[in-house]
Amino acid sequence: YIGDILVALNPFTLLPIYGPQIGQKYCHLRELSDFPAHIYSIAHRVYNHVSFHKQSQCVVLLGESGSGKTESCKMLVSQLIRECYHQVKQNGLPPSPLVDAFGNAFTEFNTNASRFTKTVDVFVDELGVIVGAKINAYHLEKSRISDVMEGEKNFNIFYHMIAGLSQTELKYFYIDGEYRIISPVPGVPLYPTQDDFRFHQERFAYIKETLSRQGVQDIYKIFGVLSALLHLGNVGFHDDGRGGAVITNDDEVGMAASLLNVLPQELSSVFLHTSVYVKGKVVLKRNSIPEAENQRDKILQTIYSRLFDWLIYCFNTVINPEPRQSQDSYKITIVDSPGFENRNTNSLEQLHFNLLVEKLHQFTYSQIFVGESRDCEREGVKIPVKVAWNDNRQVIDALDSTGVLGILDDISRSKTPTDDAFLERVNKNLGKKSKFLRNKIGNYFTIVHTADTVSNKQGESKGVGGQRGYPLTVSHGPFLDAAFATQFQILIILF
Per-domain boundaries in the chain:
20-144+326-345, 150-315, 352-457
From CA 367, how far away is CA 3, in angstroms rounded? 11
Angle between the N-to-C axes of helices 96-103 and 289-319, in degrees from 0 to 180, rounded to the nearest 10: 170
Q: Which residues lie closer than 8 Å to 26 by C-beta, 6 or more apart?
A: 35, 38, 40, 41, 43, 44, 79
- Return the CA Rg of the chain: 25
**CA 26 remoteness from chain centre:** 32
Give CA–CA dist 315/253, Å, rounded: 31
Strands, E, within 227-291: which ranges? 237-239, 245-247, 273-278, 281-286
Any known ligand binding at 96? no
pLDDT at residue number 142: 93
* pLDDT tens-place string over residues 305-316: 999 999 998 888
Q: Is 70 one of the annotated binding-site residues? A: yes
CA 356 to chain centre: 13
CA distance 414 to 398: 21
- pLDDT interval class at 327 (50, 70, 90): low
Distance CA 489, CA 471 (A): 6
Return the CATH fold of 150-315.
Answer: Four Helix Bundle (Hemerythrin (Met), subunit A) (1.20.120)
Domain 20-144+326-345: state its class. Answer: alpha beta
Q: For residue 492, what pLDDT band results from cuts at 50, 70 and 90?
A: very low
Spatial distance between the Cα atoms of 100 and 115, rounded to a whole number of angstroms = 9
Segment among 14-28, 58-72, 171-185, 385-399 with least mean pLDDT:
385-399
Following DSSP, what letter does each residue of 139-172 receive, concatenated? ---GGGGT-PPTT--SBHHHHHHHHHS-HHHHHH
Question: Do residues 155 and 369 touch, judged by C-beta distance below 8 A?
Answer: no
**Amino acid identity for residue 482 in this structure:** A
Predicted confidence band of residue 350 (pLDDT cuts 50, 70, 90):
confident
The SS3 call for residue 118 is: strand
| SS3 sequence of 337-381 | CCCCCCCCCECHHHHHHHHHHHHHHHHHHHHHHHHHHHHHHHCCC
Q: Show the beta-strand stretches assigned E in 395-435.
A: none
In tens, the pLDDT along 94-129 reads 667 889 999 999 998 888 999 999 999 999 988 888
Tens-digit pLDDT profile for residues 235-247:
999 999 999 999 9
Q: Give the Cα separation of 90 and 217 in Å (integer).
A: 19
pLDDT of residue 477: 47
Question: pLDDT averaged over the chain?
Answer: 84
HSE of 438 in the Cβ direction (CA atoms, 13 Å)?
13
Q: Does pLDDT of 479 surpass 60?
A: no
pLDDT tens, position by position, 159-204: 999 999 999 999 999 999 899 999 877 778 899 999 999 999 999 9
Q: Was 119 annotated as part of a binding site? A: no
d(CA 268, CA 27): 59
pTM for the whole structure: 0.85
Percent of the chain with pLDDT over 90: 46
The secondary structure element, H or E, covering residue 119 is: strand 117-124
Which of 1.10.10.1590, 3.40.630.10, 1.20.58.530, 3.30.470.20 is the CATH number of 352-457? 1.20.58.530
CA–CA separation, 159 and 152 (whole Å): 13
pLDDT band at 384 (very low <50, low <70, confident <90, very high): confident
Higher pLDDT pick, 341 / 460:
341
The confidence score (pLDDT) of residue 441 equals 61
**448 vs 439, residue with greater confidence:** 448
Residues composing the chain: 495
Confidence class of residue 74 from pLDDT cuts 50, 70 and 90?
very high
Q: pLDDT (tens digit, 9 = 90+) per residue, 123-151?
A: 998 888 888 899 999 999 999 999 998 88
- 66 in a known ligand binding site: yes
Alpha-carbon span 464 to 467, nearest angstrom: 9
Consult the annotation and say whether 248 binds a ligand. Answer: no
- Torsion of Cα atoms, 459 then 138 then 310 then 229, to 10°: 30
Strand partners, 134: 121
pLDDT of 480 over the 60 cut? no
